[in-house]
Structures are given as C-alpha cells and as structure tokens.
C-alpha cells in the first residue's frame, strides 16, 4: 500500500538537521492525510539526476535545501514568479509532465509578518535588510513586491550591490540600494522595518552588533534567525517597546504552499504546530 500514497521529501546535503519532516508530518497526521514526507541526503553530483527522476522515484514533489537551491533552479522545466525573481528554487511539484520550481521563502516571510502585525504595510515605507545571502534575496523580493524601499546592508558590500543590481531589472529598480555596515546607524533612524537576514545572532555564530537605540521608535524588528527562539536582537527590541517578529514563524509559513501543492489541502500555522517545532529546537539545541 505504501507505494500508492503521495510522498514528498526534502533534498539536501547534509539534511539530517531539517525540521521539514516534523513540520509536514504534523500536518499529515492532524489533517488525517495518508501521505509521507522523507529526508533524502543527496550529493551535489547526484542531485540533478535525482531531481529529474523525482516522480519515477515515487515522489509527488519536494523541498530543496542547502546546497542545491541554485542547481534546482537550473534543473526544473519552469519556475514560478518568486523563484524567477529570487534565482533559487526551494520547492518542486509536477504540473502534468512538467517539473515546476517555486520559492516559498518570500511568501513565508511576508505571511508571518502579516499574521503577526496586520496592516503593517499600510504605514511602512522604508526597510533595512541586513545580509545579502539566499534568505536576504527572498526577503528583498518580498518587500519590493509590497512597495517598500529597501536598503540592503552587508559586510561584503559587493554582495549587497550584486543583490541590488539583480532586482534592478524591473519596476523596483529605484527602490533597492546597497550599503556597507558603516551606513547602518543613519539608515536605522528612518527605517520602519529592520530585518536581520544574516546568520549573526544564531546559536554558535557571532553576535549581531547592532544598537537598537538608533532605531526610530515605531520601527518593527524582524529576525529570521530562529535558534535561539528569542534572539538577542528581538529581546533588545522588545525591551525598547518595538514590535518584534521572530524567525520561526517564517519557517512555518513558508511550508504552507508547498504542502498544498503536494497534498491538495492548505494547512494552517497553529499554536500546536509551533509548539512541536519549538520543542524540537529546545531538545536538539538546549536553546531557550
Ligand atoms: P547565507 O546565504 O550564507 O548568507 C549569510 C549572510 O550573513 C551573508 O549576508 C553574510 O555576509 C552574513 N554574515 C555571515 N557571517 C557574518 C559575520 N560574521 N559578520 C557579518 N555578516 C555575516 O545564509 P542564508 O541562507 O541567507 O541564511 C541566513 C540566516 O537566515 C541563517 O541563520 C538561516 O538559518 C536563517 N534563515 C531562516 C529562515 C527562516 O525560515 N526563518 C529561512 C532561511 C534562512 P557576507 O555576504 O559578507 O558573507
């Protein structure tokens, strides 16, 4: 029987750390869907052919994680609008015989913000995004799509410039700018939204050296790092009265459209789901 149930997977290398099986497994169980979600550790050399043979291998689709997101972008038959804009694919599914690649990180970022602070975008005009890596690409795309001006601040200025140039092909051209860390204090003073999209502040990494007193009083602070569950940035922001948005919600929300593609039901991000993932983070890392 098991070969007839819909099966999805997460493909990465390494992949054992992924929380996607727990997340999708929770939805399969609570929604009563006869399906499965597996971990597949696949090397860079083997990934393109594994992906091209996903359906013959028994999968209806899957997630792609480090280091395969760009390879997946190249290997799919076509991409959705977000994946095309971001340049990376984190979710694949079939439409008839075509393997389609999408990117749900921008959706996850914005949905969690919408759920946490309804109508935030009605007053937010200027965002500062720290970082210019894969996650920052998705976030910059999400914020430009919502009409904000986005200042990208990165340790390696050339990477921030490359990201700003990447999004400059379309109507968002004039709304993205690149800056070195030295410009941060001045940018913070007029920001409506600050997003940490670097790995700084994550357990085991360097601390994020940022003075929240430089922020405008009404600014929203969003940290996409979710280990620890409450980062030093979020704690400092809350202590000064800022509205703070955490990274775990982004992780949960980005999984929603993928599950809907594979299993035909749109799941909800619930407190119960959040509790399951929080417990796993605490158990595996001892993080508070
Ligand atoms: P990435 O592509 O490796 O980019 C890392 C970014 O952090 C770069 O901008 C890098 O700057 C910066 N950085 C790293 N170490 C630094 C340091 N010591 N000083 C200053 N800047 C530093 O990683 P990513 O995939 O974008 O992920 C970034 C973080 O977001 C990770 O912690 C990841 O776990 C988290 N994330 C969360 C979610 C979620 O759903 N909540 C989703 C995706 C990612 P340079 O360019 O100068 O190297």
List, for residues 97-138, the tens digit of each pLDDT value: 999 999 999 999 999 999 999 999 999 999 999 999 999 999
List, for residues 177-233, the tens digit of each pLDDT value: 999 999 999 999 999 999 999 999 999 999 999 999 999 999 999 999 999 999 999
Shortest-distance Cα residue to atom 13 of ligand 1: 198
For residue 209, the CA-to-ligand 1 centroid distance in Å is: 14
Q: How far is CA 286 from the centre of its chain?
A: 23
pLDDT at 2: 45
Given the CA of residue 251, which atom of ligand 1 is nearest to it?
Answer: 40
Clarify whether 69 is annotated catalytic: yes
pLDDT at 288: 54
For the chain, give the secondary structure using H, E and C. CHHHCCEEEEEECCCCCCCHHHHHHHHHHHCCCCCEEEEEECCCCCHHHHHHCCCCCCCCEEEECCCCHHHHHHHCCEECHHHHHHCCCCEEEEECCEEEEECCHHHHHHHHHHHHCCCHHHCCCEEEEECCCHHHHHHHHHHHHCCCEEEEECCCHHHHHHHHHHHHHCCCHHHEEEECHHHHHHHHHCCCEEEECCCCCCCCCCCCCCCHHHCCCCCEEEECCCCCCCCHHHHHHHHCCCEEECHHHHHHHHCHHHHHHHHCCCCCCCHHHHHHHHHHHHHHHCCC
pLDDT at 170: 60
Going by pLDDT thresholds of 50, 70 and 90, the confidence category of residue 287 is: low
Provide residues with CB under 6 Å of ligand 1. Answer: 105, 108, 131-136, 154-156, 159, 197-200, 202, 206, 224-226, 247, 250-251, 254
Given the CA of residue 254, which atom of ligand 1 is nearest to it?
Answer: 40
Angle between helices 271-285 and 247-254 in degrees, nearest 10: 120
pTM score of the predicted model: 0.95
Choose the catalytic residue: 7, 29, 69, 205: 69
For residue 211, the CA-to-ligand 1 centroid distance in Å is: 19
């Amino acid at each position: 029987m098991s070969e007839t149930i819909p099966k999805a997977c997460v493909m990465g290398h390494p992949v054992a750390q992924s929380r996607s099986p727990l997340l999708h497994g929770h939805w399969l169980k609570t929604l009563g869907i006869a399906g499965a979600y597996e971990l597949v550790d696949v090397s860079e050399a083997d990934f393109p052919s594994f992906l091209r043979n996903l359906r013959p291998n028994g999968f209806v689709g899957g997630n792609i994680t480090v280091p395969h997101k760009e390879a997946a972008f190249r290997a799919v038959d076509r991409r959705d609008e977000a994946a095309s804009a971001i340049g990376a694919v984190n979710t694949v599914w079939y439409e008839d015989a075509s393997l389609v690649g999408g990117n749900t990180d921008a959706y996850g970022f914005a949905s969690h913000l919408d759920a946490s602070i309804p109508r935030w975008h009605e007053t937010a005009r200027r965002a500062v995004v720290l970082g210019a890596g894969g996650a920052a690409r998705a976030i910059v795309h999400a914020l430009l799509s919502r009409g904000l001006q986005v200042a990208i601040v990165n340790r390696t200025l050339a990477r921030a410039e490359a990201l700003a140039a990447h999004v400059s092909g379309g109507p968002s051209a004039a709304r993205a700018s690149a800056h070195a860390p030295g410009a941060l204090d001045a940018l913070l003073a007029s920001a409506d939204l600050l997003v940490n999209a670097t790995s700084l502040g994550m357990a085991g990494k360097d601390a994020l050296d940022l003075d929240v007193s430089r922020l405008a009083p009404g600014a929203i602070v969003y940290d996409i790092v979710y280990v620890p569950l409450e980062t030093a940035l979020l704690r400092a922001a809350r202590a000064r009265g800022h509205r703070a948005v955490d990274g775990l919600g982004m992780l949960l929300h980005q999984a929603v459209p993928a599950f809907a593609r594979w299993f035909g039901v749109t799941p909800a991000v619930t407190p119960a789901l959040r509790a399951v993932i929080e417990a796993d983070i605490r158990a595996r890392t001892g993080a508070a």
